[in-house]
Amino acid sequence: MENINWSELGFGYMKTDYNVRCYYRNGKWGELEVSSDEHINIHMAATCLHYGQEAFEGLKAFRGKDGKIRIFRIEENAKRMQRSCEGVVMANLPVEIFEAACKKAVKLNERFVPPYESGASLYIRPLLLGLGEQVGVKPAPEYLFIVFVSPVGPYFKEGFKPTPMVILRGYDRAAPLGTGTIKVGGNYAAGMIPTVKAHDMGYSAPLFLDAKEKKYIDECGPANFFGIKDNTYITPESSSILPSITNKSLMQLAEDLGMKVERRKVLEEELATFEEAGACGTAAVISPILRIDDPDENRTYVISKDGKPGKRCEELYHKLRAIQYGDEPDVHNWVSFVE
Ligand SMILES: *Cc1c(COP(=O)(O)O)cnc(C)c1O
């Protein structure tokens, strides 16, 4: 697209040419359908609208120096969507349908995949919805899987800069035995007040503590938390965290860089000991943390003393981006091409 200012793109929705759909009816998934309609026409009594029977994913496609389009870890996203399907009792979506629909959506909207130089990418949003008219609480009889895409800018427009986060003790995102481990809209609804509050207070995101004991670090807004100290990458273990594919990738890269990796409970007090910390997810890869405030307890943990991202965060960030754009060999087989 000649008239898109790629470097000015933010993280938002832009209309593209096509989306890809697949319906589940009479107990089976149908063929992929291509649509240029941005709207869906569904029954007002659909379970996705009333009872939150829905799940989504988020992944990206990147254009390399070689002009080829790469999608990062698509199979992991497909498998995570299957776990989400199970978690809210929806028809299980086969990995092959997930992958084919994403690739088709990217291919059909190829002109929206930003050029290599821009640092931008094409965000892919797969969505699965429970359909069919129903008022009682039970799983839907029909489902719609839909994939749309939108070009998104480099997350850090003013460079890779640490931001402050805040612990808001009056809110929980997910219960220990709830839906925290799956990617469903309900978790975002539960986190909406603390997210807005954190933003209004000048923070980039709320840092959630575990809902039961309020002692351990859980998630960092819509991203996973990690801390670094003594050449060790540490990320919380919890039954209410969504397993981030970015985090999984960073753990592998940390190991490749000769660091130790620990997945274990992280006490809030341990924040004082980290040399570096960040939030990680597909949108930004890493958002380095400047400082974490716990206003209810009158505590502050300064992570970045000089206001800059730490050395390890920088290294991990550049390493992961290099693999995504095809600048470095894909030794772990994370990338698949759109042909
Ligand atoms: C999507 C998501 C993440 C990040 O996962 P990635 O696979 O790295 O994009 C982290 N936490 C929550 C709650 C999420 O919904």
**What confidence score (pLDDT) does residue 156 get?**
67
In the reported structure, the alpha carbon of residue 54 is separated from the centroid of ligand 1 by a whole-number distance in angstroms of: 16
Q: Which of 236, 242, 232 is nearest to 216 (CA)?
A: 236
State yes or no: pLDDT of 158 exceeds 70.
Answer: no
Q: What is the dihedral of CA 204, 240, 177, 185, to 10 degrees?
A: 50
State yes or no: pLDDT of 159 exceeds 90.
Answer: no
Note whether 264 and 313 are within 8 A (CB).
no
**What confidence score (pLDDT) does residue 154 get?**
76
**What confidence score (pLDDT) does residue 13 get?**
94
How many CB atoms are located within 10 Å of the residue 41 CB?
5
State yes or no: pLDDT of 29 exceeds 90.
Answer: yes
CA 160 to CA 157: how far, in whole Å?
A: 8
Q: What is the pLDDT of residues 48-101, one digit of tens each?
A: 999 999 999 999 999 999 999 999 999 999 999 999 999 999 999 999 999 999
For ligand 1, is residue 210 a contact (CB within 6 Å)? no
For ligand 1, is residue 53 a contact (CB within 6 Å)? no
Architecture of domain 17-150 in CATH? 2-Layer Sandwich (3.30)
Ligand 1 atom having least distance to the Cα of 249? 8
For ligand 1, is residue 183 a contact (CB within 6 Å)? yes
Q: What is the pLDDT of residues 103-130, one digit of tens each?
A: 999 999 999 999 999 989 999 999 999 9
Ligand 1 atom having least distance to the Cα of 58? 9
> What residues form DSSP beta bridges with 70?
62, 337
Mean pLDDT of the chain: 96
Superfamily (CATH H level) for 161-323? D-amino Acid Aminotransferase, subunit A, domain 2 (3.20.10.10)
State yes or no: pLDDT of 303 exceeds 60.
Answer: yes
pTM over 0.95: yes
In the reported structure, the alpha carbon of residue 311 is separated from the centroid of ligand 1 by a whole-number distance in angstroms of: 24
Note whether 106 and 147 are within 8 A (CB).
no
Tokens 């570096």, located at residue: 276
In the reported structure, the alpha carbon of residue 249 is separated from the centroid of ligand 1 by a whole-number distance in angstroms of: 12
Task: Tell me what percent of the residues of the chain surpass a pLDDT of 90.
Answer: 94
Q: Is the torsion defined by CA of 320, 82, 48, 101 positive or negative?
A: positive
Tokens 């839907």, located at residue: 140
Ligand 1 atom having least distance to the Cα of 183? 15
Domain boundaries, the chain: 17-150, 161-323
